[in-house]
């Protein structure tokens, strides 16, 4: 092409026309690209995470314990939910003091759960269905049966000694440290073999790793690479905010020794460890990361997840999930907490949205109403909330069925190490056991760990053997098979929600605005993006409630309601009614 043609007016005109046509054709794409840039779109922001508690999901071999083959047999079910990511609680080799959160070999599968072959099949099965897998990474501590700890214990001069925190007994008793799971709440355990104490923030069988030791960090980095190379898509960093410690172990101010998050979390050094992990592993793979907990302040949370810091992807803050107490909770506080977190993360950083997990009792029993009359409707209302907030929803298995607390009355029904140790603690200090059991019925972690309810056959179709923990007595009515058949079931409603979220980017990224702020019964908010606006109104009570949104609902388009086909009559909401409108 010679310079004449290049500069001829005719050519220039053609060029302009071509450019214009490209511009027109790409109208949407262009707009999207622009938006994309603004939004910093990421797959892990747009995903719905479904958490599977493997021990209780599906037992394949009749030993009463859920396993990987069980999960494999239910992959189509998982796909049918419309979720994008599975977060699996730990499946590594473990003596199971804390259901897998005490790892004895990070590169192997717990024998209860199956083999590495099963794992590979499961991972491929998920990927074939377009679902990603996030694994729990438990490296604040290991099991005391891990080879590292066995070596470390064996003598003061063993090369692995510095993998853990030891305090030689000739130096007296170490300054008090609180243990969350210990019978005596004492995080220092005396070991006669070397006349020294070791540190365990959780149970005695979960000694804390010494992150100051570069060898420990290298071990973890290698473990992460091992799993990332296998093709997993992310890590959930268990209890990681406690990983850094001031290893001089100063005494804490009197009266504050048990102030766990404040004094034990986010100790200097932590960000450096995260940056090292990011540099050496995370930056090299397309993986997502989430830390359990978000520190003590909004600043802590930002410091862990802001993109320019190169640490983790999203914060998982406990403020919301901690609100519900056996005495109830205030919706005003609930709204305030979620609104505040949203505003603090409006411009930078990214949040997880959740109200339940394997460490909490059931969603509907804590935040809704599990009476026969309102269980279904309130469960759907809560799901509506989780799926319409800004952030990545983490949805716990069984909540899509509206599973509720089992109401255990006897200590023999419980399995959780933290609960059993606390029970012994209460016995030791002469605490009231009836009060303790009553509280456990509401808040125990075992409430959410009962077997997944597949159908109305014996043991809810979870196992042909004896389940490791009792099945909830309500399984005959609350189960997948029954709910599949009912188009208005919790299960089918949840599917509508995941689909809606997928089809509406506004629900993922859209600006959140709280409405009718002081309404003690109704949570109402809008989500807004690129000229599209949705209004969500949620009645959190068992009575009719009024809401003043300031919008004319008679012209709003009804998108979804948990009372089939019904919008709100002049701002009046039925008990636990949830409605999603499109305003623009
Ligand atoms: C985290 C886990 C919990 C476990 C603890 C110790 O909090 O979510 O289940 O018991 O860490 O690993
Ligand atoms: Ca099994």
Q: Could you confirm whether 238 is annotated as catalytic?
A: yes
Q: Is the distance from the beta carbon of residue 239 to the nearest atom of ligand 1 less than 6 Å?
A: yes
The response to whether residue 138 sits with its C-beta less than 6 Å from ligand 1 reads: yes
The finding on whether 331 has its CB within 6 A of some atom of ligand 1 is no
312 alpha carbon – ligand 1 mean position (Å): 19
User: For atom 6 of ligand 1, which residue has the closest CA?
Assistant: 101
Q: Ligand 2 mean position to 129 CA, how many Å?
A: 24
For residue 101, the ligand 1 atom closest to its alpha carbon is 12
- Percentage of the residues of the chain whose pLDDT score is greater than 90: 90
What the block records as the tokens of 219 is 């071990």
Kindly give the number of the ligand 1 atom that is closest to the alpha carbon of 141.
12
**Nearest-angstrom CA–CA distance, 213 and 219:** 10
Measured at the CA of 263, the angle between CA 262 and CA 268, to 5 degrees, comes to 105
Does 237 contact ligand 1 (Cβ within 6 A)? Answer: no
Contact between 181 and 190 under an 8 Å Cβ cutoff? The reply is no
Q: Is 260 in the pocket of ligand 1 (CB under 6 A)?
A: no
Atom of ligand 1 nearest to the CA of 181: 10
Residue 559 CA to ligand 2 center (angstroms) comes to: 42
Q: Which atom of ligand 1 is nearest to the CA of 202?
A: 6
Annotated catalytic residue: which of 84, 292, 376, 416? 292
Q: Identify the H or E element spanning 298.
A: helix 298-305
Cβ pair 72, 82 in contact under 8 A: no
Residue 219: per-residue pLDDT: 98
Going by alpha carbons, the residue nearest to atom 12 of ligand 1 is: 101
Q: Which pLDDT band, with edges at 50, 70 and 90, does 22 fall under?
A: very low
Residue 98, ligand 1, Cβ within 6 A: yes
| DSSP assignments along 92-125, one per residue | EE---TTTTSS-SEEEEE-TTT--HHHHHHHHHH
Specify the 3-state DSSP secondary structure of 351: strand
Q: Give the model's pLDDT for residue 570.
A: 76
pLDDT band at 205 (very low <50, low <70, confident <90, very high): very high
Ligand with an atom nearest the CA of residue 111: 2
Could you tell me how many residues make up the chain?
Answer: 584
Q: What pLDDT shows up at residue 33?
A: 39
Banded model confidence at residue 349, pLDDT cuts 50, 70, 90 = very high
Q: How far is the CA of 478 from the centre of ligand 1 (A)?
A: 28
Taking 50 as the threshold, does the pLDDT of residue 2 lie above it?
A: no
Burial 268-286 (b: 16+ CB within 10 A, else e): eebbebbebbbebbbeebe
Q: Strand 578-582 vs strand 532-539: parallel, antiparallel, or unpaired?
A: antiparallel
Q: Who contacts 521 (Cβ-Cβ below 8 Å, separation ≥6)?
A: 331, 539, 540, 541, 543, 545
pLDDT at 555: 87
Q: How many angstroms is it from 86 CA to the middle of ligand 2?
A: 20
Average of per-residue pLDDT values in the chain: 93
Is the CB of 202 within 6 Å of ligand 1? yes
Q: Say yes or no: CB of residue 97 within 6 Å of ligand 1.
A: no
Lowest mean pLDDT among 274-288, 444-458, 564-578: 564-578
Q: What percent of the chain has pLDDT over 70?
A: 93
Q: How confident is the model at residue 409 (pLDDT cuts 50, 70, 90)?
A: very high
Which ligand is nearest the CA of 394, by number? 1
For residues 300 and 315, give the distance between their C-alpha atoms in angstroms, rounded to a whole number: 10
pLDDT tens-place string over residues 224-267: 999 999 999 999 999 999 999 999 999 999 998 888 888 999 99
Judge whether 363 and 355 are in contact, CB under 8 Å: yes
Whether 231 contacts 166, CB under 8 Å: no
Q: Which ligand is nearest to the CA of 418?
A: 1
User: What is the predicted pLDDT for the residue at 28?
Assistant: 39
Cα of 90 to ligand 1 centre, how many Å? 10
The catalytic position among 59, 97, 102, 238 is 238
- Confidence label for 16 from pLDDT (cuts 50, 70 and 90): very low
Q: Is the CB of 101 under 6 A from ligand 1?
A: yes
**C-alpha of residue 113 to centroid of ligand 2, in Å:** 6
pLDDT at 474 over 80: yes
Position in ligand 1 atom list of the atom nearest CA 418: 10
- The pLDDT value given to residue 1: 32
58 pLDDT higher than 90: yes
**Ligand 1 close to Cβ of residue 359 (< 6 A):** yes
What is the residue with the minimal CA distance to atom 3 of ligand 1? 359
Which atom of ligand 1 lies nearest, measured to the CA of 138?
A: 12
The mean pLDDT value for 172-179 works out to 97
Ligand 1 pocket: which of 92, 101, 237 to mutate (most atoms within 8 A of CB): 101
DSSP string, 209-260: B-TTSHHHHHHHHHHHHHHHHHT--EEEETTGGGS---TT-PPPPTT-TT-H
Ligand 2 centroid distance, CA of 466 (Å): 10
Active site residue 292: yes
Residue 266: CB within 6 Å of ligand 1?
A: no
Q: Distance between the two ends of the chain, CA-based, in angstroms?
A: 50
How many angstroms from the chain centroid is the CA of residue 87?
8
> For residue 556, is pLDDT > 50?
yes
Is the minimum distance from the CB of 416 to ligand 1 under 6 angstroms? no
Q: Which atom of ligand 1 is nearest to the CA of 102?
A: 12
pLDDT tens, residue by residue, 259-303:
888 899 999 999 999 999 999 999 999 999 999 999 999 999 999
Atom of ligand 1 nearest to the CA of 445: 9
- Ligand 2 centroid to residue 91 C-alpha, Å: 13
What is the 101 CA–ligand 1 centroid distance (Å)? 6
238 pocket-lining for ligand 1 (C-beta < 6 Å): yes
Q: Please, which pLDDT band fits residue 15 given cuts at 50, 70 and 90?
A: very low
**Cβ(46) – ligand 1 distance below 6 Å:** no
Long-range contacts of 549-554 (CB under 8 A, 24+ apart): 549/515, 549/516, 549/524, 550/515, 551/581, 551/583, 553/581
């Amino acid at each position: 092409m010679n310079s004449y043609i290049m500069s001829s007016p005719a050519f220039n005109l053609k060029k302009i026309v071509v450019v214009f046509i490209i511009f027109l054709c790409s109208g949407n794409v262009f707009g999207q690209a622009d938006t994309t840039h603004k939004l910093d779109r990421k797959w892990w922001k747009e995903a719905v995470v479904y958490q599977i508690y493997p021990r209780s999901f599906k037992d394949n071999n009749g030993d009463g314990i859920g396993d990987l083959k069980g999960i494999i047999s239910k992959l189509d079910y998982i796909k049918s939910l419309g979720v994008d990511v599975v977060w699996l609680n730990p499946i590594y080799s473990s003596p199971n003091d804390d259901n897998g959160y005490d790892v004895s070999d990070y590169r192997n599968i717990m024998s209860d759960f199956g083999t590495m072959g099963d794992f590979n099949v499961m991972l491929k099965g998920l990927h074939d269905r377009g679902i990603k897998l996030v694994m729990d990474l438990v490296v604040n501590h290991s099991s005391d049966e891990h080879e590292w700890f066995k070596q470390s214990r064996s003598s003061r001069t063993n090369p692995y000694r510095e993998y853990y925190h030891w305090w030689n007994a000739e130096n007296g008793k170490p300054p008090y440290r609180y243990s969350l799971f210990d019978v005596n709440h004492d995080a220092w355990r005396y070991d006669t073999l070397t006349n020294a104490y070791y540190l365990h923030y959780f149970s005695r069988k979960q000694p804390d790793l010494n992150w100051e030791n570069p060898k420990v960090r290298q071990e973890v980095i290698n473990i992460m690479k091992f799993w990332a190379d296998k093709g997993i898509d992310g890590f959930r960093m268990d209890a990681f905010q406690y990983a850094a410690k001031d290893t001089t172990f100063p005494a804490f101010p009197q009266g504050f020794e048990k102030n766990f998050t404040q004094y034990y979390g986010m100790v200097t050094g932590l960000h450096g460890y995260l940056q090292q992990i990011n540099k050496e592993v995370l930056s090299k793979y397309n993986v997502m990361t989430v830390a359990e907990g978000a520190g003590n302040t909004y600043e802590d949370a930002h410091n862990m997840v802001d993109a320019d810091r190169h640490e983790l992807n999203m914060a998982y803050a406990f403020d919301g999930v901690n609100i519900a107490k056996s005495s109830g909770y205030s919706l005003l506080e609930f709204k305030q907490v979620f609104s505040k977190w949203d505003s603090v993360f409006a411009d930078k950083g990214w949040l997880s949205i959740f109200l339940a997990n394997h460490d909490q009792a059931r969603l509907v029993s804590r935040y809704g109403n599990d009476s026969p009359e309102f269980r279904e409707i309130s469960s759907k209302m809560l799901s509506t909330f989780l799926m319409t907030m800004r952030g990545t929803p983490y949805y716990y298995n069984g909540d899509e069925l509206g599973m509720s607390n089992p109401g255990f009355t006897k200590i023999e029904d419980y399995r959780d190490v933290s609960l059993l140790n606390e029970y012994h603690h209460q016995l030791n200090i002469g605490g009231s056991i009836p009060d303790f059991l009553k509280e456990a019925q509401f808040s125990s972690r075992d409430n959410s760990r009962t077997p997944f309810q597949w159908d109305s056959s014996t043991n809810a179709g979870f196992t042909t053997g004896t389940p490791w923990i009792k099945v909830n007595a309500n399984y005959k009515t609350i189960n997948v098979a029954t709910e599949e058949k009912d188009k208005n079931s919790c299960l089918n409603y949840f599917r509508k929600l995941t689909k809606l979220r997928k089809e509406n980017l506004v629900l993922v990224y859209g600006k959140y605005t709280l409405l009718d702020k002081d309404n003690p019964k109704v949570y109402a908010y809008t989500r807004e993006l690129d000229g599209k606006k949705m209004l969500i109104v949620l009645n959190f009570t068992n009575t009719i409630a009024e809401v003043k949104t300031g919008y004319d609902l008679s012209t709003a388009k009804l998108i979804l309601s948990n009372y089939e086909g019904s919008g709100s009559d002049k701002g009046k909401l039925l008990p636990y009614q949830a409605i999603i409108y499109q305003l623009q």
